[in-house]
């Protein structure tokens, strides 16, 4: 049975993750390497609408390490996706230029792509329920990220309903939690904002149809 070695990079608002894996003819996935680094790409983007130069630089340093590992392990294809912070940034071309330079040196033409909230929700769902028993579905997957939270309902046949809302640990911290430790009023404000955003998502996703809940939380 033949295999192909591929690499996937997920660049979120708070962290950047790498998976290098071998895919066999029958679709079996075998991990070669998994890495995760907190780079806080979304630093300040909720308030400014722009990616900070220092945040792009932190991401570049991590991406160079990932690119070196991709080269060393011999992965022949790479896909890099970016999510909430990059979706919202006015200067996201600065980020794209950096990824083209770093990844293009390993796989010609490789660069980051921004995925929509719905695509992020679909991918989160697929990754979360892939090894679950279909008999325990339908499933609700809640993916808590740095810049957004996805709520997805589906089963072994795919996604039935999904919603992505712009709230996550980085946005919530920068918007509400200004002290360390935060004050009681700040915690109350964060709870209110989070509650409003989750209620918004639940208006679009009939979670009462689910038999199993799966919550995924980033670092």
Compute CA 141 distance to the chain's CA centroid, rounded to the nearest angstrom: 14
Q: What is the pLDDT of residue 52?
A: 95
Q: What is the number of alpha carbons within 13 Å of residue 19 lying toward its C-beta?
A: 12
* Same-domain check for residues 91 and 148: no
CA-based nearest residue to 175, from 138, 216, 151, 146: 146
Per-block mean pLDDT, blocks of 10 residues, the chain (219 long): 93 95 90 96 91 96 97 95 87 95 91 90 89 92 92 94 92 94 96 94 96 79
Query: Are 138 and 198 in the same domain?
Result: yes
67 and 126 both lie in a single domain = no
Domain that holds residue 168: 117-217
Q: What is the pTM of this model?
A: 0.88
Phi (first) and psi of residue 32, to 5 degrees = -105, -40
User: Of the candidates 147, 165, 8, which has an alpha carbon nearest to the alpha carbon of residue 89?
Assistant: 147
Name, in order, each residue with C-beta under 8 angstroms of 217's C-beta and a sequence gap of 6 or more.
144
- Are 135 and 166 in a shared domain? yes
> Does 142 lie in the same domain as 52?
no
**DSSP, res 115:** -
- Choose one of 60, 85, 114: the last residue of a domain: 114
Residue 77 sits in the same domain as residue 103: yes
Domain boundary (114, 130, 153) is at 114
Residues 199 and 173 in one domain: yes
Q: Are 12 and 92 part of one and the same domain? A: yes
CATH number of residue 195's parent domain: 3.30.420.150
Beta strands in 111-211 (DSSP E): 112-114, 139-144, 149-155, 158-165
Total domains in the fold of the chain: 2
70: enclosing H helix or E strand: helix 53-73
Can you give the pLDDT at residue 217?
Answer: 66
Query: Which of the listed residues 87, 114, 141 is the one where a domain comes to its end?
Result: 114
Do 124 and 62 form a contact (C-beta atoms < 8 A)? Answer: no
- In this structure, the chain runs to a length of 219
Same domain assignment for residues 18 and 97: yes
**Co-location of 61 and 101 in the same domain:** yes
Between the alpha carbon of residue 147 and those of residues 14, 43, 74, 77, the distances in Å are 8, 10, 32, 27
- Contact between 8 and 77 under an 8 Å Cβ cutoff? The reply is no
Q: Which secondary structure element, helix H or strand E, spans residue 215, and what is its range?
A: strand 212-217
What does the radius of gyration of the chain's CA atoms come to, in whole angstroms?
Answer: 18
Residue 100 sits in the same domain as residue 121? no
Say if residues 139 and 155 touch (Cβ distance below 8 Å): yes
- Where residue 24 sits, what CATH number does that domain have? 3.30.420.40
């Amino acid at each position: 049975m033949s295999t192909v070695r591929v690499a996937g990079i997920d660049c979120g608002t708070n962290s950047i993750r790498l998976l290098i894996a071998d895919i066999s003819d029958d679709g079996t996935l075998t991990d070669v390497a998994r890495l995760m680094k907190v780079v806080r790409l979304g630093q300040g983007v909720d308030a400014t609408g722009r990616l900070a130069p220092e945040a792009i630089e932190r991401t570049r340093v991590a991406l160079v390490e990932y690119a070196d590992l991709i080269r060393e392990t011999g992965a022949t294809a790479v896909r890099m996706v970016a999510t909430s912070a990059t979706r919202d940034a006015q200067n996201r071309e600065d980020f794209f230029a950096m990824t083209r330079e770093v990844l293009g040196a390993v796989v010609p033409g490789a660069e980051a792509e921004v995925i929509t909230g719905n695509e992020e929700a679909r991918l989160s769902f697929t990754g979360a329920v892939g090894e679950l028993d279909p008999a325990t579905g339908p499933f609700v997957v809640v993916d808590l990220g740095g810049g957004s939270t996805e709520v997805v309902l589906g089963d072994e046949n795919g996604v039935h309903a999904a919603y992505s809302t712009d709230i996550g640990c980085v946005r919530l911290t920068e918007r509400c939690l200004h002290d360390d430790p935060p004050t009681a009023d700040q915690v109350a404000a964060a709870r209110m904002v989070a509650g409003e955003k989750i209620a918004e998502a639940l208006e679009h996703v009939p979670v009462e149809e689910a038999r199993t809940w799966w919550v995924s939380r980033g670092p």
